[in-house]
Amino acid sequence: MGSHVPGGSPGAVGIVGAGTMGAGIALVCARRGRRVYLQDIKPEVLDAAQAYIDSILTKDVAKGRISEEEKRKTHDLVEPVQDMAALSSCPIVIEAVPEKLELKRSVFARLTKLCGSDALLLSNTSSLSITELAAGLPHPDRIIGFHFFNPAPVMPLVEVIRGHKSGEACVAAARRFAEELGKVPVLAEDSPGFIVNRVARPYYNEALRIMGDRMARPEQIDRIMKLAGGFKMGPFELQDLIGLDVNLATTESVYTRFYHESRFKPSRLQQRMVQAGSLGRKTGEGFYPYDQ
Ligand code: NAD
């Protein structure tokens, strides 16, 4: 560990993975004036991320929240890159690749070689163990969970997750960074699903069971949860927004890590929809149809 506080010097933020979450997180950072290197292996994803950022900023201008000049400045702060080497000088890197342990571990292994030994390495994982992500890597103290919620530019919460070897100074730096981004950090211990997804898994599962038992249709369950529960979106609308594949991967991960406790058991119906490619908004069809 270097002598200064990890991630403490303001500098560029690297983001690995420019999908739903990476694109949103890039906008959050750019809005706060941070330069962002947004990396993905797929050029079409980088194009889509830029188009997404542009569309949100265009709406901000239309609503009088920012000027054309501010839009251009914020837009230009995000640099799309395909090579992870572009992130080597970043004091903070946020990983947002799919929810697969080995994939994430390979990203962190690469980052620990590329970045300075005092760079703060954050994972947007929804459910995987930060301890497992960091195991065997040099300086595991600077690998911290940093879990945004979808859509990242709107949702105020960030779970800051302390792994077994996470350093206190790094956890504190991650919390300060979340505050700098205008978010509310909540410290969570490294338990499957952390806090929010541990509560959310049985919520989605039970909604799927009610549907499977033909007690109510998705639109009825969504309407009831919005009317009675005060939720902004019902469980099926949310799954379509999150992506059924992303949602299923999180449920499978929590189920496996809780030693197959039945309350977390994934739904076969959801599994079938993922196999069919009905992933929600991003594919134009999930529990609801969407105009692409
Ligand atoms: P996504 O599939 O939309 O995006 C992931 C991106 O990572 C893809 O664009 C893919 O091309 C890219 N990628 C894959 N391998 C890569 C590599 N080796 N290097 C660089 N890029 C690579 O997924 P998402 O919904 O953005 O989820 C990303 C992470 O965030 C997951 O861990 C997920 O659990 C978590 N998360 C998702 C949500 C949500 O609602 N979607 C909410 C909170 C957290």
pLDDT along the chain (292 residues), means of 10: 47 97 98 97 98 98 97 98 97 97 97 95 96 96 97 97 97 98 97 96 96 97 95 97 96 96 95 98 96 74
Give CA–CA dist 53/24, Å, rounded. Answer: 8
* Residues 22, 180, 104: CA angle, nearest 5 degrees: 30
Residue 82 Cα to ligand 1 middle (Å): 15
To the query of whether residue 67 is one of the catalytic residues in this protein, the response is: no
Long-range contacts of the stretch 250-253 (C-beta < 8 A, 24+): 250/99, 250/126, 250/127, 250/193, 250/197, 250/201, 251/201, 251/204, 251/205, 253/99, 253/101, 253/126, 253/127, 253/128, 253/192, 253/193
Per-residue pLDDT, 7 = 52
What tokens were used for 19? 């999908």
| Nearest-atom index, ligand 1, CA of 21 | 26
225 is in an annotated binding site: no
**Other Cβ atoms within 10 Å of 155 Cβ, number:** 14
Per-residue pLDDT, 229 = 87
Per-residue pLDDT, 68 = 97
Per-residue pLDDT, 195 = 96
pTM: 0.93
Per-residue pLDDT, 53 = 98
Residues near ligand 1 (Cβ within 6 A): 16-22, 39-42, 45, 96-99, 103, 107, 124-126, 147-150, 242-243, 246, 250
To the query of whether residue 168 is one of the catalytic residues in this protein, the response is: no
